[in-house]
Structure 1
Amino acid sequence: MPSIDGQHRSRPSAPPEPSAARPRISNMEIDSGSLMLASVVNGLLGLVFWAAAARLYPTEEIGRATTVINAAVMIGTISNLSLGPLYERFLPQSGERGGALIVKGHLVTALIAIILSGAFLVFGPTEHLFTDTLQMALFPLCSVVLGAFALDDSILVGLRLGRWAAAKNIFHATAKLVAIVALSHSVDSTLIVSGWVVPAAIAVCVIQCAIFFRGGFLRHHRSLPDRMPSHGSLLKDFGSLYGMVIINSLAPFLLPLLVVSTLGVTEAAYFAMSWTMISAVTLVMAMISGPFVAEAAANPEDLRDLLLRQLRLLAAVALAGFVFLAFIAPFALSLVGTEYADHGAALLRSMAVVQILSIPGFVFGGLARVYRRLGYALALQITIALAVVVSAWLMLPHFGISSVGYAYVGVEFLMILGVALPLRRMVTDAMHTPSPHPHVTIGNR
C-alpha cells in the first residue's frame, strides 16, 4: 500500500526497545487532551464572559458586539486560506523550511484579511454594526489579529505542540473576561470588542516570540528531515483545503448575519449566548482532528493505533457534548436570564443531537486529510454548507433561532449518507496498516 504521502517511503529503522515502565500515551493524546481541556475552559469562561456582558451592557450592544466579533473571526479564518490544515498536515515534514513557511503564511493572510475587511465594510450591514468611523477603521485590524490568533493554533499543532495552543486559548479566555469587567464603566460595544481582541493580540506576539527566539519551538523541528511533497502535489492539496476552509466558514459567518437581519439585534444576542456554548463543544470535537493528522504525518506507520485512539476520543467527547448541551447548558443559560433560556433551549438541544451525528463526518475529514483524498470531501462540504444556510434562512421567520439547530440535524443525516462508502474504504485501509512497535509510546519527545 502506498504511504499516506502518496510517495514511496524507505523502510523505517528498527524501533527502540519498549520500556515496560513507560505509560502508553501518545503525543496526539497529550495535545488532544490539552486542546479539549482548553475548549472546555473557554466554553465555561465564554459563558461567564457573555453573562457578565449581559449584566453590564445593554442587549442591543451585546448583539452588535457579538456580530462584529463573529465577522472578524470569520474573515480572519477565510484569510488564512487553507494554511491551517496545511500546517497540520505538512509542517511535521518541513524540517528546516518550517520557519520560513510560518512567516510567509502570516504575511499573506494579514494582507488578505485587510482586503476582505474592506469589502465587508463596503457591502456588509455596517449601519447595524458600527456607530462611528473609528470603529469601522479598526475593524480590519481586528480581523488581522483574530486571523493570526486562529492560525497559530494550527502552527503549534503542526509543530506537535498543541498543548501550547491550549495554554494560549486559556489565557485569552481569562484575559478577555477580566477586560470586559474592567471596562464596564462604559456601555459602548467597542469596549466589548476591544476586550476580546487586545488579549488575542498579546497572545499572538508571545507565541511568535516563543517560536522564533533562539532555543524556541523551532529548535528541535529544524533538525528533522525535509519530506515535503512536490510543489504541484502541494498546490493540489492547497486548492482543495482552501475550498474546504471557505465552505466550513460559510455557515458560521452567515448564520449570525441572517439572524440579525431577519430577527434583529435582540434575537442576535439570544443566539450568540447559546452559540457560544455550542461552538465550544463543537470546537472540542474539531480539536481532535488536528493532532491526529499531524501525528499521522509524522508517524504514518502508526496510523492504525492513532485512528483507534481518535475514535475513542471522539466517542467520549460526543457523548459528553450531548449531555452538556441537552441538560447542563439550558440550565446555565437560565442563570444568565430567563429570556435567554426561553429563546435558546431548543437550539441547544437540537445541537446536542448533532454532536452524536457528527462523529462519522469528523472521522472522514481526518482520514481524507491523512490520505490526501480531498476532492470528494470538498464537494460534500459545499453541499452540506449550502443546505444548512438555505434551510435555516427559510425557517428563521417561522421558528426563530431554533431553526439553526433544526437545519443542522437534518443536514447531519445527509452527511452520514454521503461519507458512508468512502469512510468504510479509508477505515479498512487504516486498520490494515501494521504497527511496527505496538508497545512503544508514540510520538513522545
Structure 2
Amino acid sequence: MSNLWRKIVRDLRNPLLRNGYALMVNTGITAVLGMGYWLLAEEFYTAEEFGRGQAMITVMRLFASLTALGLAGALAKFIPIAGRRTPELILRGYGLAAATGGAAAVGFLLTVPLWGETYSWLGGLGPDLFFLGAVLVWAVFTLQDVVLTGLRQAVWVPVNSLIFGLVKMGLLIALAGALPHGGIFVSWVVPTALALIPINWFIFGYVVPKHQKANPIEGRPPRLKEIGRFLAGDYPGTLSILAIIYLVPTIVSTQVGPATFGRFSMAHTLGCLIELLAMNMAVSLTVEGSFDPAQLAANCRRALRRAFMIIVPIIAVTLVGAPFILLIFGTEFAEEGTTLLRLMAVAVVPRVLIEVYLSSLRARGEARRLAFVQIGLAGLILVSIFALFPFAHVNAVGWGILLSELLVAGLIYRDLRKTLNFAKTGQRSVVERSSETA
C-alpha cells in the first residue's frame, strides 16, 4: 500500500500526469453526475421531451464548438509560451469561438423548420434568443477548461464540473413543473452562464498573473501569424471530434423521432465520455510538450502507459455491464443502446494511440500532417456511418467509429512507434556523447 501511495504522489508531482489525471477525474465526475441528471430527466419529463432536450443540448454544443475545439489545441500549445500576451490570447480565443458559434446558430434558427419536429421548441423570438445566448455562453465555457489546463491548473476543472453538475440537477427538478417543455435545456444553460463570472475572475485575477510570474518568457511571445498557421493545420482536424460527438447525433436526430433519439443519445453520450478519457491525457501532453519539448517522447510513453492502465479496465467493465448500465434508464434503453455503447467502448483503444500521436504532432508544430490525419479520420467516420446506416440503423454510428479508428491507428502506428523509440535512442546518444566528452 505504501508503495502504491508513493507512486501516486510521484505521479502527482509530474505536471503531465497531474493535469492528465485531473482531466480524467473531471470526465468521471461528468459521467456520474450526467447519469444522475439524465435519470432525473427521465423521471420528471416525458420520453419526447427527454429526447428533445438532448437534441437541443447537442446542437447547441455543435455550434459552440465549431472553432472552440480547434482553438483548444492552439490555447493548449501557446498559453505556456504566450508570456505577457496570455490574457490577450485567451480573450481572442473566447471572442472568435463565440462569434463563429453565434453565426452558425443564426443560420440554424433561420432554417429551423427544415430540421424536423425535434426542434419544434424553437421558432419564437424568446426561445431563439435564449438558444443564441446559450451558444455564446457554451463557446466560452468550453475553452475555460483548456485555459486552466494550459496554465497547469487543471486540478480546478473537476471542481467546476462538480458544482455545475449539482446546480443543474437541482434546477432540472425545480423546472419540471414550471417549464415542462424546454425545462431540460434551460436547466443546462443557466448554471453554465452563472459559472462564467467566478471562473474567469479566478483565471484573469489569479491564475494568469501567477503563471506569468512563475514562467517568464525570455524570447518573443507567439505572433498572431504563427498562431494562425497552427490553426490552419489543426482546426480542420477538429472535424473528427465534432463528427463523433456532435455532428453525428445531430444528423441522427433529423432521421428519427425524439423518443428514439433519446435512447440513442444516452448510449452515445456514455461512449463519448469514455473516448474523452483518451483525449484528456493527450491535452496535457500537448501542454507539457510546449513547456519542455526535449521530454516530448518520454512524456508520450508515460501518457500511453497511464491512459491504457486507466482506460482498459473501464472498457472491460463497459463491455460486460453495458446492458445493466443502460437498464437503469429502462428496458428500451438497454435493448436499443447496448450494442452501440459496446462498439464505442472498444473504439477507445485505437483512439488512445491516435490522440497521443496527434498531441505529439501539435507539440512539434507539424500542422500539415496533423490536419491530414484528422481530416482523414473525420471523413472516414462520416462516410462509413452514412454507408452503414441503412443496414445497422443507429448502431452504424458505433461500427463507423470503430472501423475508422482502427484503420487510422494502423496507418499511424509505425510513425508513432518511431517517435517513441527515437526518444530512447536520442537519450542514449546524449549519454554516450557526454561520456566521450568526459
* Of 313, 319, 322, the match for 1:326: 319
In the alignment, what sits opposite 1:55?
A: 43
In the alignment, what sits opposite 2:249?
A: 256
Alignment of 1:200-349 (within 5 A): 200-213=192-205, 216-223=206-213, 224-226=215-217, 227=219, 228-349=221-342
**Residues 203 and 431 from structure 1, CA distance in 2 versus in 1: closer, same or farther, beyond 3 angstroms?**
farther
Show structure 2 runs of 5+ residues with no match. 1-8, 432-438
**Residues 240 and 189 from structure 1, CA distance in 2 versus in 1: closer, same or farther, beyond 3 angstroms?**
farther
Comparing 242-251 with 290-299, which one deviates more in the overlay?
Answer: 242-251
In the alignment, what sits opposite 1:14?
A: none
**What RMSD over aligned residues (CA atoms) do the two structures have, in Å?**
2.2
User: Relative contact order, CA 8 A, sep 6+: which one is greater?
Assistant: 1
Contact 1:325–1:351 (CA under 8 A) maintained in structure 2: no
Comparing 250-259 with 137-146, which one deviates more in the overlay?
Answer: 250-259
Contact 1:240–1:378 (CA under 8 A) maintained in structure 2: yes
Contact 1:106–1:148 (CA under 8 A) maintained in structure 2: yes
Letter in 2 for 1:69: I
Is residue 2:8 matched to residue 1:31?
no
In the alignment, what sits opposite 1:144?
A: 136
SS in 1 for 2:267: helix
**Residues 91 and 174 from structure 1, CA distance in 2 versus in 1: closer, same or farther, beyond 3 angstroms?**
same
**Residues 324 and 198 from structure 1, CA distance in 2 versus in 1: closer, same or farther, beyond 3 angstroms?**
farther
Contact 1:353–1:409 (CA under 8 A) maintained in structure 2: yes
Contact 1:39–1:283 (CA under 8 A) maintained in structure 2: yes
Instruction: Using the TM superposition, give the Cα deviation of residue 432 of structure 1 relative to its aligned residue in structure 2, in angstroms.
Output: 4.1
SS in 2 for 1:118: helix
* Aligned-pair identity (%): 23
Comparing 169-178 with 336-345, which one deviates more in the overlay?
Answer: 169-178
Could you tell me how far apart the structure 1 residues matched to 2:246 and 2:301 are? 33
Instruction: Using the TM superposition, give the Cα deviation of residue 252 of structure 1 relative to its aligned residue in structure 2, in angstroms.
Output: 2.6
Letter in 2 for 1:294: V
* Of 351, 365, 370, the match for 1:372: 365
* Of 23, 34, 39, the match for 1:46: 34
Alignment of 1:421-432 (within 5 A): 421-432=414-425
Show structure 1 runs of 5+ residues with no match. 1-21, 439-445
In the alignment, what sits opposite 2:79?
A: 91
Could you tell me how far apart the structure 2 residues matched to 1:46 and 1:90 are? 31
Instruction: Using the TM superposition, give the Cα deviation of residue 126 of structure 1 relative to its aligned residue in structure 2, in angstroms.
Output: 6.1
Alignment of 1:352-391 (within 5 A): 352-391=345-384
Could you tell me how far apart the structure 2 residues matched to 1:249 and 1:291 are? 20
SS in 2 for 1:225: coil
SS in 2 for 1:262: coil
Instruction: Using the TM superposition, give the Cα deviation of residue 219 of structure 1 relative to its aligned residue in structure 2, in angstroms.
Output: 1.9
Aligned length: 414
Letter in 2 for 1:198: V
Q: Deviations over 1:306-332 (max 9, x none)?
A: 222211122123303312321233212
In the alignment, what sits opposite 2:110?
A: 122
Contact 2:285–2:360 (CA under 8 A) maintained in structure 1: no
